[in-house]
Every structure is written in C-alpha cells, then in structure tokens.
Chains A and B, each alone.
Chain A
Amino acid sequence: MRVDLLPSEGGGTYRFVIILLAICGILISSLPVIVVTIMSFSAADNTGFPPEALSLRWYGEVIAMFTTEDANSAQSVVDSTLTSLLVAIVVMVISTGVCIPLAYALARGDTRIRGGMELLFTLPLVFPLVILGIAFLLIAESLRLDIGIWRIVIPHVALVLPFVLRNCLSAMSGISIEVEEAAVSLGASPLRAIWDVVIPMMKAGILAGLIFALIISFNEFTITFFMYTVDVSTLPIWMYSRTVSSLDPSTLALSVFIIVADVVLIVLVDKLIAGRASLF
C-alpha cells in the first residue's frame, strides 16, 4: 500500500490544518459573492446586513432600469452595458491576435529575448493602476483626438496583455518544434504547419487567455475611471456613480446579474472554441 507523506491517521492535526486552510480560502474568496447575493434579495430600502425580509423587488428595479428611459443619469445603464461588452470583446480579439504570434515568436526564438519581452509586457502589472490611469489620460488628452471607445480599449489591452501572453506562452512551451517539422516534412508550408498543428495544440491556452481578457476588461474600474467620458462609459463606472449617489440594493441585484453573465460568457466562449479542450 502507498504511504501518505502526511500521516492522515494518528497525525490528525495535519488534516485538520489543511481543512481549516481550505475553509478560510473558500470563505475569503466567496464571501463577497455570498453577501451580495443575499443582500440583493432584501426587502428593505437600505443595505443593512442581514436583511430583515426577503423579496425580489430590487430585481424588478434592475429590469425596469434596463427597459425604461432613465432621465436622471447622463448615460443610461443600457449604453454602459453595451459599451462594456463591446470594449471587452474588442480587447479580447486584439490581445489574442497580438499574443498568439508573439508567443510563437518568443517560444521559438532566443530565450534571453523571451525573458526580456515577458518582463516588458508584465510592466503594467507592477505599475499602480491609478498611475497607469493618469498616464493613459495624459496621453489621450495630449492627442486631442476623439477616438471613441479606443480610449478605453487601448489601456485595457495593455492591462490584459500579460495575462493573455502568459497563457499563450505556456501553451506554446508544450509544443515541440518536431511536430511542426513533421507537418513541414509532409509537405505543409511553415505557415500552414502553424495553422494546422500549432494553433490547434495551443487551443486551451488561447481559450484561457480569451476568458481572462474578457473578464478583466469587463470588470476593470480604476483605469477606466480616468478614461471615461460622457459619451463612452462602462458598466462598472455607472455602478460606481450610482452607489455614490444612493446605495440601495438595486446595484447589488445588478451585480448578481453581472456575475451570472460572466459565468455564461465563460461557458459560451469555452463551448464555442474549446471543443475537446473544454474546461467544463
């Protein structure tokens, strides 16, 4: 019989510690979701926790927000949501489109160049987001151009690139050059070999990158806060301005919608692209 490295019987403390750590981890990561979900079903007007009575009134409120014209806010929630979605999809497409060839070139090229480039693309992560936001704002203002959603798309791309690149690189590292050479020896041009062999083998990594890009962009707040304009604003900005003016549980109900939408998006992207590499 195999011997467990950590004794599970007699040495019950190890198991206890591991279970305790697991519970702490799960609690910390899921507590916000749980609280928000519970609160969204509150019947009260305020956000006292725990709610005294339950109802679906705030969900009705959210649906009303989306279906009726909102005269109060400069930009309606519908517009913000559509902008958020559009930005997220464009960011996803651009970052993946950049990272697949980049990851290929870096993985097949000089390892020293690869290290340097990875560092370079990770730079936005070590920058405080507020500084990054100010920097992009300065650049955008100095351009004096009306570039529409691109003033949000470009900073988002900078932000998601390290995640997407990392995923594509780790996908590439598992693909030996011999598989490509095998395709070439059978008559495929080098580009055809990449298309027929490398890209399909990278699929799981590409997919993970797509999902990262989509979610990070859709939920991004800090940089967007510097970049949004009256015409181009995103859902997180709308939610923030709403909470500042009046914190009622309708924002929380909306959050639950977003969480559900995130999950649906992830599953959808997975089903569309993954095939056998599906995560679910």
Chain B
Amino acid sequence: MSSDTHLHIENISKKFNTVDALRDVDLRIERGSFVCLLGPSGCGKTTLLRIIAGFETATKGRLILDGQDISQQPPHKRGFGMVFQSLALFPHMSVARNIGYGLKLRGVKGAAQRDRIEELLEVIQLPHIADRPVSALSGGQRQRVAIARALAIQPPLFLLDEPLSALDAKLRDNMQIELRQLQQKFGVTTVLVTHDQHEAMMLADELVVLKDGAVRQSAAPSQVYNQPADSFVADFLGAANLIDVGAIKGGTVDLFGTAVSTPAPHMDGDLMLAAVRAEHLVLAPAAAAGTAAPIGAVSFMRDLGPATEFVVTIQGKDLRVRRSNADAQGLDVGSQVALTFDPAQVSLFKAA
C-alpha cells in the first residue's frame, strides 16, 4: 500500500483561534482511489479538503504529494481541480468558456482547446450546450459542467466539497453513479467531502469518518459499516441500535439473554456498549418463536416501500428494526414479537 501513496496527509492539525478544527489527521491516499471524508457538520472535513486544496494552511503537519512537500505551495500552483458546494460556475461565461478557463490559463488555445472541451462535453453527456450561458442550465447540467471544468485541466487530485447536496434525491442518486463512473474513467485520485452516509458508501473506495477534527475510522466502506471502530461510527453509518450491556463477565456480555463474546483487548469488568444494525435484528410473531427469544411489543411501524421499519419496545428499550415487507405480514402496532439476532453481527465497544 505504501508503495503507491499519492497523497500523504501527514499529522495535519488546524487551530482556528483556540478551537481545534483538526487534530493530528494522518491519512495515506492511494493513487486513483476515491476517498470520502464523512462526518457531521463541524467535524473538520471541509477544513481538511480546503487544506489539501491550499485555501487554508495547516497549523501543523505536511502534505506530501508524490513524495514532494506541497504544504507551502499556493493553491493556483497546485492545480487540483475542485468542485464547490455552490458549484461556483462563472456566470458571465458560456459553458465552453467555463470548461475552457483552466485550459486557457495553461496556454491551450484554439483547436486544441475546442477539441478538449468537445471531448469533455461528450463525457458528461451534454454535447450540444457549449455556447449556452450557465444560467440557462438545469441543476444536474450545472453539476456536470462544474465537474467537467475541474477535470478539464487533468488535475493530479480531484476535490469535491459536498457537490451533490443541492440536488433532489433522485437526481443525486443518478449523479452519484455518474460521478463514480467518471472518476474511474479518468482514473483520477479523488477526495470528496460529504455528510451523507449513503453517498459516501456509494462512492468511496476508502471511507474516512471524522468527528471533532479527528479521524475515527478509515477503511473500505463495507468494513466501516460492518466493523465500526467505535460507537460513534456505528451510530453515524446507518441505523444502529446502541445498547448499554453492562460489564463483561467471563468473556461475554449479556444482550437480551444471549451471550455475546467480547474480543481480545476487552477484559472482565469493562463496561460495554453493543451496536446492532436495524437490518440485523429478526422479528417473528411471539407465538411462533422459540422459548429463549426475548419478547417485545411493536410500538411503531411504517412501510418504506422496499422494506418496513419497526420500533420494538423490549425490556424498556426502543429498538429500530428493518425487515422485508413479507416479514411484516400479520404484524401491527401492539403485536407481541420475538427478537433474535446473530451474535456475530453485534459490534461491541467500551462504554465511554
């Protein structure tokens, strides 16, 4: 892995006055990979992206691109294509001039510039809009033009700051797929900031979860989802139920009557927190279940279309459960249900 590190974010810290925006962030971004910086607002993800772009300077730490320290390089010398949250298209220029702006600055003129613009418009599937003013474009078209403008200069790094947040849900879904395809086509190393966990799961090769300026977990999306590093990550990614399970006794904790074995670093007496995802809980009408299963009552349910979401009150706790619509047959608010789960799908963390 270390052999093909494209960008090494080396122990970056950033202070705004006395506030720590970033604390010792150390990340290695692989060449050609798609990295998503994910976290709630104020977690420092945008600050980190702006430091990479050169619009902020780190208080401490270095940026190493291809073995070269670029920390002191001004942003216009870095030439990383960036897509902004507001898209920041130039309103007084046509689509072609927007896309061609970076090329013009690099001295690509005339036919070469026109060809490149044509090629990019082809790639973003908008071949006939070159001469339109950007104000005449729809939201999705503006989005594509902003991406094409950034990619036109063949940037070593492609940076995106919540570029899809202004789009409606359906369009956002389509754009996510397109963005991922574009990124793979160009093979450009990409860093995207988002607070939307679905977007991050959909796009990322590597998912970096940030909280309060610190990296909580950095791994492949499936790993982050299935083996969250801590309760924050478990809670932030997908609907997880966090349950206080008390102290470890004899290498296990008790979760609704089922013994769940605790992994190595934890010891007897540690207070633990269990996380179980909504879709990992199984429901059955109480009468049909085995005797061992704990019984709860459905206190809320809603049909989401592809699935049904329940809130089950069990031993005084409200748990979110997501099942297929078939499993919801015969169940209603107030129904007694038996709850089962696979202990292997339970994540355990030391209670803070």
**A interface residues with partner B (beta carbon < 8 Å):** 176, 178-179, 181-190, 192-193, 196-197, 200-201, 203, 276
Q: Are B81 and A186 in contact (CB under 8 A)?
A: yes
Interface string of B91-106 (1 = CB under 8 A from A): 1100000000110011
C-alpha gap A193/B82 in the complex (Å): 15
Across the A-B interface, give the 7 residue pairs with the lowest CB-CB distance, nearest first.
Answer: A186-B102, A182-B88, A178-B88, A185-B82, A187-B105, A178-B84, A179-B88
- Chain B residues within an 8 Å CB radius of A179: 88-90
Chain A nearest CB from B137 CB (Å) reads: 16
* Docked pose: A81 CA to B210 CA in angstroms: 69
Residue from B76, B82, B106 with most neighbouring chain A CB atoms (10 Å): B76
Residue contacts A-B, CB under 8 angstroms, 14 given: A179-B89, A181-B88, A182-B149, A184-B55, A184-B76, A185-B78, A186-B81, A186-B149, A186-B150, A187-B76, A188-B76, A192-B76, A192-B105, A203-B92
**A192 CA to B88 CA, complexed, in Å:** 16
- Chain B min CB distance to A168 (Å): 17
Which partner residue on chain B sits nearest A277 by CB separation?
Answer: B92
Least Cβ–Cβ distance between B125 and chain A, in angstroms: 22
Contact between chains at B150 and A178 (CB < 8 Å): no
Contacts known (A192-B105, A196-B101); A186 close to B153, Cβ less than 8 A: yes
Q: What are the residues of chain B within 8 A of A176 when measuring CB–CB?
A: 86, 88
Q: Check A183–B81 contact: CB distance below 8 A.
A: no
Assess whether B61 is interfacial by the CB under 8 Å rule.
Answer: no
Interface hub of A181, A182, A183, A192 (most chain B Cβ within 10 A): A182
| Chain B nearest Cβ from A187, distance in angstroms | 4
Starting from the known contacts A178-B85, A185-B79, A185-B82, 16 additional A-B residue pairs (CB-CB under 8 Å) come to A179-B88, A179-B90, A181-B88, A185-B53, A185-B76, A185-B150, A186-B79, A186-B105, A186-B150, A187-B102, A188-B76, A188-B105, A190-B76, A192-B76, A201-B90, A201-B92
| Contacts A178-B84, A188-B105, A192-B105; A183 near B90 (Cβ below 8 A) | yes
How distant is B142 from chain A, measured CB to nearest CB, in Å? 13
